[in-house]
Structure 1
Amino acid sequence: MHTYILRFFLLFAASATNLCAQMPIYQNPDMPIEVRVEDALSRMTLEEKVALCHAQSKFSSAGVPRLGIPELWMSDGPHGVRHEFEWNTWNYAGWTNDSITAFPALTALAATWNPEMAARYGKAVGEEARYRKKDVLLGPGVNIYRTPLNGRNFEYMGEDPYLAGVMAVPYVKELQKNGVAACVKHFALNNQEQWRGTVDVEVSDRALYEIYLPAFKQAIVEGGAWSVMGAYNKYRGQHCCHNARLLNDILRDEWGFDGCVITDWGGAHDTKEAALNGLDIEMGSYTNGLTSDNSLGYNLYYLADPYLEMLKKGELPMASVDAKARNILRLIFRTSLNPNKPYGSLCTKEHYDVAKVIGDESIVLLRNKGILPLQADKYNRILVVGDNAVRRLTDGGGSSELKPKDMISPLDALRALYGDKIEYAQGYACGRPFFGYEEEIQQTVIDSLRAEAVAKARRADVVIYVGGLNKNAFQDCESTDRKSYNLPFSQDELIEELVAVNPNLVIANISGNAYAMPWLEKVPAILHISYLGTMGGASIADVISGKVNPSGKLPYSFPVKLSDCSAHSFGEGAYPGIDTGKEDVSLTDYQRNVGVNPKEEYKDDILVGYRWHDTKKIPALFSFGHGLSYTSFKYGKSRLSSKTMDEKGSIKVTVPLTNTGTRIGKEVVQLYLGDPVCSVIRPLKELKHFTKVEVEPDETVQVEFVITPDDLKFFDEASHQWLAEPGVFNVYVGTSSADIRCMHSFKYICD
């Protein structure tokens, strides 16, 4: 019997060996990817190579069926796998098994200031994408928050390139362990939605390399991202999806990127530029991102039949299509033809736990005059006011729209904690009751909702206001920018009336952007909350009740008024740009948003966000990095390991941190550096290191940072390299960019 079994296994092993020997090299996962790529490429026809380079459906691109090379399937988005679409329309497919976990938006992830949260996020969303059989997840987004009017800021990770880069790297690494490619977006300078498809951005090389590129570089070089999505806008007169400087010179030549460049949907505009300037896969053209009813549309793409025809005529080099096919095959072998990828999972308890803890750590306590946390035994009548207490904030917003399996609203979560003490009033309307009604009727609805909320507030012991923005057009929404820095739907007036009748008012606004607060000094407590997805209501309720001690920090500044923001300090030429074409008065708002030939100059240059507020001495309403706790922290006497540093050295900074309160809490210790005397303009200080630490009451921990010469450098345009000039540098350690607890200086010596 044993002899029979042994013979069977020997025969099986021999058969397997013979099969491997007969297997084409490109199908053998044990062979190096580059060898497999070249083998597959050598077997392909020209038509098959071109077919790889463009969409075959709304969210897929072709493989090579003749060779058994599978297609690529892509999905929005960075904070949850989007529902399934029909093959050739923007209609949802109506599946019953494509519900997912809605994870917090990337502004929330950035607000945690915790790379561990980024790793858990990437792992969990990657498992869901893998379970849904996706090969490319279109995210993370790392564009810089330049103006609080940008409708897509909620998809990005704030105003600081270092913070965004540090958070992007573990997200990308853990996501791709699932055999799902990260597609880092939108490369580059996608800092507004108004005129996004046509605006031509002019920016200095210093600002490009110091502010707008570092997070992309970290995600690609350190994170190892397998794909990159181009942006809609132009840079130096060329669309970013086929921009020679961005894609050839910087991405490929300087950073050594070996992955695949994918357009944003409809981001390609020219066959020759697309062929020669670094683009690999064209998605969504001729749809305007919205509609298409042409069944042959995919063959008409710039990188489809027009490209094939130019190749056959010798008008474009064959090397261009070979380069694209190599990059696409490499992506296929890393993802859809990777036999070692895991199975993935969907809507598990573990994923809900990840969404919850990220939400918990992301909520920023902006202000607290002692009213928070709300103790259940102290209040008998708690009024919740606001549409966002019940609205599904995963609906709308463009490509970030999600179909969560479960959704905990703030109102439901507060009722679960406080029981029948909770009463609700909507307070304001977001447009839902208004369609088809006259203006007078609309005003009647608004007035009645406000009157009801104010009347109930007068009788309540405490009021929790859950308002802010939502995913409607001209709010936090793809394709449109906000029209005003103030809250929409007359919320400021409502808040003023509520606090006038009940000073015990807690503001818990949900938003992916900063906004004006004309009522600030009248309100005792303010929470800033990003879009938190499936478990969002539970996170909000747990922070309000004190079950969770808030530890989020702002990833962007809150200007007092819009003109205090750098992008809005130089006139329309700096934002949103000046449209040099003639405006057609018959256009709708959406069509006008497209623009004719707008040009924009980033006159704020490197002084974005807190760099502007600090350097120009314009105080922010709430500063970058700000966030309070229910406990208190004392920064002890910090010290430097040396007062001098040379080109090969480093300096260790040690900071004692003590929890002087009564609750366990987490603090984000932030280190900034400044170069006060330099041959070029530099910000007063720039974030260079941070760490989030958990500290028990009465415990002291030693926080350490290591400063290296790379931390001191600026980008020199003349030499096109990073330089640090000799001289004295300032070290700032604090709890926000405006709340500095320790300051030191050291001398840098170099040849």
Structure 2
Amino acid sequence: MPTPEKLVDLRAAMTLTEKASLMSGENFWNTKPITRLGVASIMLTDGPHGLRKQGGAADHLGLNASLPATCFPPAATLVNSWDPALLEQVGVALGTEAAAAQVSVLLGPGMNIKRNPLAGRNFEYFSEDPVVSGKMAAALIRGIQSRGVAASLKHFAVNSQETHRMSIDEIVDERALHEIYLEGFRIAVTEGEPWTVMSSYNKVNGTYANENVQLLHCVLRGDWGFDGLVVTDWGGNNDRVAGLIAGNALEMPSSSGVTDQQIIDAIEAGTLDERVLDARVDEVLALIARTDASAQQTTVDLDAHHELAVEAAQHSIVLLRNENHALPLGPANGKVAVIGDFAETPRYQGAGSSLVNPTRVDSALDALRSSDIDIVGYERGFTRRDTSSRRLRRRALRLAGRADTVLLFLGLDESAEAEAVDRTHMRLAANQLQLTRELIALNVPVIVVLAGGAPVELPFADDVDAIVHSYLAGQGGGRAVTDVLTGRVNPRGKLAESYPLRYRDVPSSATFGRTEATSEHRESIYIGYRYYDKVGLPVRYPFGHGLSYTQFAYSDLVADHSSATVTVTNTGDRTGAEIVQLYVEAPDAAEGQFRAPRELGGFALVSLQPGESATATIDYAEHAFDVFDAAASEWRTVGGQYTIIAAASSRDLRLRSLLEVDGGPAPDAPAELDHYRTGQVSRATDAEYSALLGRALPAAAWPRARPLTRDDIIAQTKGRGGFASLLHTVIDRSSDLFLLLGRPHAANNTRFALDLPFRSIERMSGGLVDKAMLDALLVMVNGHFWRGSRQMLSAWRAHRRGRRARRDIDTQN
């Protein structure tokens, strides 16, 4: 990598126009080159769990095909391994494939906190807990960057929902912001040292994340020491100059020069210091230099990568239930009926920008037929989409009647989990639930294999014999699931998120996705197990839960001020691995305090032969004994007698050890926060939430009276009448039509257009739309259709003449 001095000399040789040109892409995936100075163009591309390099038409939502690449399990699955070493291996493979394809920046990992089970992009994220999220993301980053390819940690920050994601204002108190939503990013940045960070679309407390000086400059660079480049999410720029000042260097994709000119104009007008632009240029040049290795010749062993994808899935599958040792399958299970569409056509990844074109896909049905299990037959049982089919159900029930055991494959379909849309409920499809009830009524043992990237309600859980959760298992998931079912592999995965009994139990259920302009995080720090444990609410499966075909005993817990040791013994008759979780319980279990009773303080993976024992040493997380003092804007160690707990899950607490910690009292909280002290946050009033924020609540609804502007989103045309309503209806109905045609990905991606700000039409049109045309469109949607139509025609003609003139000049040159 060139020295900083050489990079400064290179930048000093640039004109203002050349410097500004580096601040946005040349096209959808590449940066601009400066040929006369030897500044290369580099490629950035998706994705978090597999390379999505498009060979033809480019898009950000997986509409058009990409080149074949290994599809590893996504983050929601990999995290269940609780194995940073495994994720680093996967990262190395991802980096190798990117380098071979001459991709310099791989856009991932994604690591936003799973605030709510309905968030459409949960499958791309790790956990409800920042410690496990940060540790796993850091490992993936280290692996990717070991191959000379930059990882891009995303989406910074508080990207908690897909509904109105490009305009939503995430309202979150300072304590929750730092303890929950930023802490995982901090761990990933300090331990993984990513070369790039991607800013999120949304606002955070009134300011777009990409323009947020506090987040990008003070926290990311100042507090955490990040020395890389910040890139926008695709189309995620609002005010280009404000973003530049905050610390965003690169806008993607190309804005066809629109925002480059804004930068030049601001410098010439004296409203932007050129030294700010110089700092951002240095960051771009440093990234280009850092990723030189991506242009080297690299060979890829796709067979080996497929085997790694299988191994990653094997270690991430979670055995949720196993009554009377129903698993592993063997001769005692007799004839086995395989039922459920997901057995033959696996659901192995999510949809949107992370959609990978896999090199191959293993189905569970093929793998089961190749095993020693006596498969008596297979039936789909239900349609992929939630439509009733008595014929499919009858065939499945007839098959089950001939079997001794039923393997039932259930899950969320492709339309349920995708970028740009959130789920509307937490249930499985009604046709799947009906079939499940009828199969249970046959009194044949039923083993459920579940697929999906986020929690679902499981009303049948106590009535089936076993539940194996594959999550989204990547291209090797079919073989991995079969290996777990047959006992070739002993399951070791554990949940990195809580499974509530029903959606109304989720602390954010009353507010998530229900407002237009803002998203109020009224639950504050009480996310997932922090909430359920605080209020003592029963859950279906707790955070950290996962069973094995063997058993583990814990003993000899010893806690000091930096770490704890615990001995684990495999007391069963199979080789297995145990994920030991260390919880730090607050003094007096936080009774009457604005604090969770216990939080994850660390974890370790221990692999053991039958009868073998091993001692694990687990370091405490950096802020294990701290809370964030919002008034002082800093972390404070709270003193007192803590309890260190070695556990198999957040509810399976095995051993305890007391530890006296030196520190001060807990920071004072406003007197009005009674419900935050008890954890009953669903009962918090507007006044109480306002006191927590320290300011008045912003308006949650879009303004209806004023005309729409460039900064409003297309969804705001709904209900305005005339052309505005027609525009909304056309997009909405087009999405419905794609669903009817069996194209759920296209349906979801069509709806994405509703959340686009009007300004993005000009910037992302590839030069087809200019400012005058956009202004004419706004006149049309604001109730003056004919006047706007005339303006549009005039603007279009002028734009066409201008493009022709520029082409003629280019031809002459």
TM tier relative to shorter chain:
0.7 to 0.9
CA contact (8 A) 1:145 1:159 kept: yes
Q: Which residue of 2 aligns with 1:293?
A: none
Q: How far 1:385 sits from its partner (Å)?
A: 1.4
Equivalent AA in structure 1 for residue 478 of structure 2: G
User: Cα offset for 1:709?
Assistant: 7.6
Name the SS for the 2:70 alignment partner: coil
| Aligned counterparts of 2:173 and 2:166: Cα–Cα separation in 1 | 21
CA contact (8 A) 1:414 1:422 kept: no
- Name which of 549, 553, 557 aligns with 2:494: 553
Query: How far did residue 342 of structure 1 move?
Result: 5.6
Q: Which residue of 2 aligns with 1:65?
A: 35
Using the TM superposition, give the Cα deviation of residue 50 of structure 1 relative to its aligned residue in structure 2, in angstroms: 1.2
Of residues 272, 275, 283, the one that matches 1:316 is 272
How far did residue 686 of structure 1 move? 0.4
Equivalent position of 2:642 in the other structure: 729
Of 236, 248, 257, the residue aligned with 1:299 is: 257
Question: Distance in 1 between the 2:153 and 2:437 partners?
Answer: 42
**Structure 1 match to 2:396:** 453
Letter in 2 for 1:512: G
Give the drift of 1:343: 3.5
Q: C-alpha deviations, 1:416-436, integer Å up to 9, x for none? A: 1147725211111123xx9xx
Structure 1 residue 702 and structure 2 residue 702: aligned? Answer: no
Please give the alpha-carbon distance, in whole angstroms, between the structure 1 residues aligned to 2:109 and 2:287: 17
Q: Tell me, yes or no, if the aligned pair for 2:62 and 2:353 is still in contact at 8 Å.
A: no
Shift of 1:132: 1.1
TM-score normalised to structure 2 length: 0.78
Alignment equivalent of 1:408, drawn from 348, 351, 362: 362
Q: Percent identity among equivalent residues? A: 34
SS in 2 for 1:638: strand
Between stretches 138-147 and 708-717, larger displacement belongs to 708-717
1:198 paired residue number: 167
| Distance (whole Å) between structure 2 residues aligned to residue 447 and residue 725 of structure 1 | 61
1:744 maps onto 2:657 in alignment? yes
State the Cα distance separating 1:371 from its structure 2 match. 4.4
Partner of 2:129: 160
Secondary structure of 2:587's partner?
A: coil
Q: For structure 2, which runs of at least 5 residues remain unmatched after alignment?
A: 665-813
Q: In structure 2, which of residues 71, 95, 98 is the aligned counterpart of residue 102 of structure 1?
A: 71
Counterpart-to-counterpart distance in 2, 1:146 and 1:730 = 27
Which whole-Å CA distance do the structure 2 matches of 1:392 and 1:67 have between them? 50
SS in 1 for 2:282: helix
Instruction: Report if the CA contact (8 A) 1:85-1:93 is conserved.
Output: no
Q: Is 1:52 matched with 2:19?
A: no
Q: For 1:707 and 1:198, locate their aligned partners in 2 and report how far apart those are by CA, in whole Å.
A: 38
Q: Contact (CA 8 Å) 2:50, 2:71: kept in 1 or not?
A: yes
Q: Could you tell me how far 1:706 is from its partner in structure 2? A: 4.2
Map 1:86-235 onto structure 2 (within 5 A). 86=56, 98-235=67-204
Q: Pairwise mapping of residues 150-549 of structure 1 onto structure 2 (< 5 A)? A: 150-284=119-253, 297-300=255-258, 303-335=259-291, 337-338=292-293, 343-393=297-347, 397-418=351-372, 421-431=375-385, 443=388, 446-472=389-415, 475-549=416-490
Q: How many Å apart are 1:242 and its aligned residue?
A: 2.2
Answer yes or no: is 1:682 the counterpart of 2:595: yes
Q: For the residues of structure 1 that align with 2:132 and 2:640, how far apart are their CA atoms?
A: 26
Residue deviations 1:399-418 (CA, integer Å, cap 9, x gap): 11111111101111111114
What is the CA–CA distance in structure 1 between the aligned matches of 2:429 and 2:253, rounded to whole Å?
Answer: 32
- For the pair 1:564 / 2:564, whether they are aligned, the reply is no
Conservation of the 8 A alpha-carbon contact between 2:147 and 2:293: no
How many residues align? The count is 662
Per-residue deviation, 1:312? 2.8
1:95 Cα deviation from its structure 2 partner: 8.4
Q: 1:739 & 1:91 partners in 2: Cα distance?
A: 41
Cα gap change, 1:110/1:342 in structure 2, threshold over 3 Å: closer, same or farther?
A: farther
> What is the distance in 1 between the residues matched to 2:87 and 2:257?
39
> Contact 1:81/1:129 (CA < 8 Å) preserved in 2?
yes
Rounded Cα–Cα distance in structure 1 between residues aligned with 2:482 and 2:267:
61
Residue aligning to 1:606: 525
Cα distance in 2 for partners of 1:745, 1:577 equals 43
Please say if residues 159 and 555 of structure 1, whose CA atoms lie closer than 8 Å, have aligned partners that are also in contact: yes
8 A Cα contact 2:100 2:300, kept in partner: yes
Asked if the contact 2:123/2:350 (under 8 Å) is kept, the reply is no
Question: Which range moves more in the overlay, 273-282 or 397-406?
Answer: 273-282
| Mapped partners of 1:254, 1:103: distance in 2 | 33
Q: One-letter code of the match for 1:725?
A: V
Deviations 1:555-608 (A, max 9, x none): 10000011111111xx33xx12422xxxxxxxxxxxxxxxxxx21221111111
Aligned-residue offset at 1:281: 1.0
Letter paired with 2:83: N
Residue 621 of structure 1 aligns with an amino acid whose one-letter code is R
- Provide TM-score, normalisation by structure 1: 0.84
Establish whether residue 629 from structure 1 lines up as the match of residue 548 from structure 2. yes
Aligned match of 1:22: none
Deviation at 1:461, TM superposition (A): 1.5
1:236-264 Cα offsets, whole Å, 9 max, x none, are: 22221222221122112222222111111
C-alpha contact (below 8 Å) 2:557/2:564 kept by paired residues = yes
Which residue of the partner structure matches residue 19 of structure 1?
A: none
Cα deviation, 1:178-198, whole Å, max 9, x if unaligned, reads 111000000011111112112
Q: Which residue of 2 aligns with 1:576?
A: 513
Q: Distance in 1 between matches of 2:621 and 2:197?
A: 30
**Contact 2:331-2:373 at 8 Å conserved across structures:** no
After TM superposition, the structure 1 stretch with the greater mean CA deviation from structure 2, 84-93 or 524-533, is 84-93
SS in structure 2 at match of 1:693: strand
Contact 1:76–1:400 (CA under 8 A) maintained in structure 2: yes
CA 1:117–1:396: 2 relative to 1, 3 Å: closer
SS at match of 1:533: coil
The residue that corresponds to 1:25 in the other structure is: none
**Matched letter for residue 190 of structure 2:** V
Cα deviation, residue 89, structure 1: 5.8
Pair 653,42 (structure 1): closer, same or farther in 2 beyond 3 Å:
same
CA 1:220–1:708: 2 relative to 1, 3 Å:
closer
Give unpaired runs (5+ residues) of structure 1: 1-28, 286-296, 435-441, 580-597, 642-649
Is the CA contact (8 Å cut-off) linking 1:199 and 1:234 kept in structure 2?
yes
Root-mean-square deviation (CA, aligned residues, Å) is 2.2
On the 8 A contact 1:100/1:346 being kept in 2, the answer is no
Give the 3 Å change call, closer, same or farther, for CA 149–526 of structure 1 in structure 2.
same
- Higher mean C-alpha deviation, range 722-731 or range 378-387: 378-387
Q: Separation in 2 of the partners of 1:698 and 1:360?
A: 23
Q: Aligned-pair distance for 1:310?
A: 2.6
2:583 equivalent to 1:672: yes
- Whether contact under 8 Å (2:426, 2:456) holds in the other structure is yes
4+ residue segments displaced more than 4 Å: 87-96, 677-680, 706-710
Instruction: Report the Cα distance in structure 1 between the residues aligned to 2:306 and 2:72, rounded to whole angstroms.
Output: 8
Partners of 2:621 and 2:373 in 1: how far apart?
54
